[in-house]
Amino acid sequence: MEQRYQALLALIRDGVPIVQVAHRFDVSRQAVHRWLRWYEAQGLPGLVDRSHRPPRCSHQMHPAVEVWVLEARRRNPEWGPRRLVHEASRAGITPAPSPSAVYRALKRAGLIDPQVRRRRDRRFRRWECGGAMELWQLDVVDGVLLENGREAKILSGIDDHSRFVVCARLMLRATSRAVCSHFAEAMCRHGVPQEILGIRASTVRALASQGRAVLRASGGPRA
């Protein structure tokens, strides 16, 4: 403020040209003109240092949305940023805030401690079969585009215990015949599993028939 005051004194009282005032105080002529407009409009209070913070931030959360987020967190302390975003969408709040914006709001309000991470429940245990060949997980994956524009599918299969890939075959159509053919090929190569998971019931029945046929041909399951 003192610099602006002295510059305007030289300009108004002493009649120093604006170009010389700007040179003396090492500022631009536009700055001197701006200070003069502020002084003419508000007097000395217009020369007080002003904040350079923008009036609003385009990605800042709306105050009403932030109030809703904080109140929802206080009512449900176990809800994290992702759950709060989901509940905000369900409540019809548009646009819904991002998880990072919700996290910052909770941090500002002291409703979350960034140093503390939620401990994993010790009762949680990963489910898997106890040994190999007890269960195969089969799935048909879409979205494989060929050069001619056609869409192909992949029959993928893994052993639930070892995570070994027992089958990965490309099919133009995921028919029961094609699936059973690739499945029978996998059983001939690796053996017959005790169970299969992930295919619709009609295909499972066809796969079971293929499994019985392989068992008859091989004399029993192979490791």
Q: Give residues with Cβ within 8 angstroms of 44, minimum separation 6.
A: 5
Provide the residue range defining the domain that includes 88.
63-108
Query: pLDDT (tens digit, 9 = 90+) per residue, 74-97?
Result: 999 999 999 999 999 999 998 888
Q: Which of 139, 136, 164 is nearest to 154 (CA)?
A: 139
Residues 83 and 30 in one domain: no
8: left (phi over 0), alpha (psi -120 to 50) or beta: alpha
Distance of CA 161 to the CA centre of its chain: 30
Domain-embedded: residue 208? yes
Domain-embedded: residue 128? no
> Domains in the chain: how many in total?
3
Domain-embedded: residue 187? yes
Q: Which of 189, 93, 183, 178 is nearest to 138 (CA)?
A: 183
Domain-embedded: residue 178? yes
Whether the ω angle into residue 95 lies within 30 degrees of 0, i.e. cis, is: yes
Residues 151 and 213 in one domain: yes
The Cα 118–Cα 102 span in angstroms is: 17
CA distances from 145 to 17, 52, 102, 148 (A): 74, 53, 39, 8
Can you state the percent helix, strand and coil of the chain, rounding each to 5? 45, 15, 40
Q: Give residues with Cβ within 8 angstroms of 54, minimum separation 6.
A: none
Residues 38 and 12 in one domain: yes
Residues 98 and 143 in one domain: no
Predicted pLDDT at 76: 93
* Mean pLDDT, rounded, for 19-47: 87
DSSP-assigned beta bridge partners for residue 137: 158, 197
Task: Tell whether the model's pLDDT for residue 222 goes beyond 50.
Answer: no
Return the DSSP state at 20: H
Read off the CATH number of the domain in which 100 is found.
Answer: 1.10.10
The Cα 192–Cα 205 span in angstroms is: 15
Residues 43 and 67 in one domain: no
Q: Give residues with Cβ within 8 angstroms of 59, minimum separation 6.
A: 101
DSSP-assigned beta bridge partners for residue 153: 171
Task: Tell whether the model's pLDDT for residue 145 goes beyond 80.
Answer: yes
Domain-embedded: residue 123? no
The Cα 17–Cα 33 span in angstroms is: 11
Domain end among 72, 93, 108:
108
Residues 140 and 188 in one domain: yes
* Mean pLDDT, rounded, for 112-133: 71
* Mean pLDDT, rounded, for 197-204: 62
17: left (phi over 0), alpha (psi -120 to 50) or beta: beta
Read off the CATH number of the domain in which 193 is found.
Answer: 3.30.420.10
* Mean pLDDT, rounded, for 21-29: 89
Predicted pLDDT at 122: 59
* Mean pLDDT, rounded, for 140-145: 84
Domain-embedded: residue 124? no
Task: State the pLDDT confidence band at 68, using cuts at 50, 70 and 90.
Answer: very high
Q: Which of 19, 40, 16, 42 is nearest to 30 (CA)?
A: 19
- Average of per-residue pLDDT values in the chain: 82
Q: pTM score > 0.75 for this model?
A: no
Domain-embedded: residue 121? no
Domain-embedded: residue 223? no
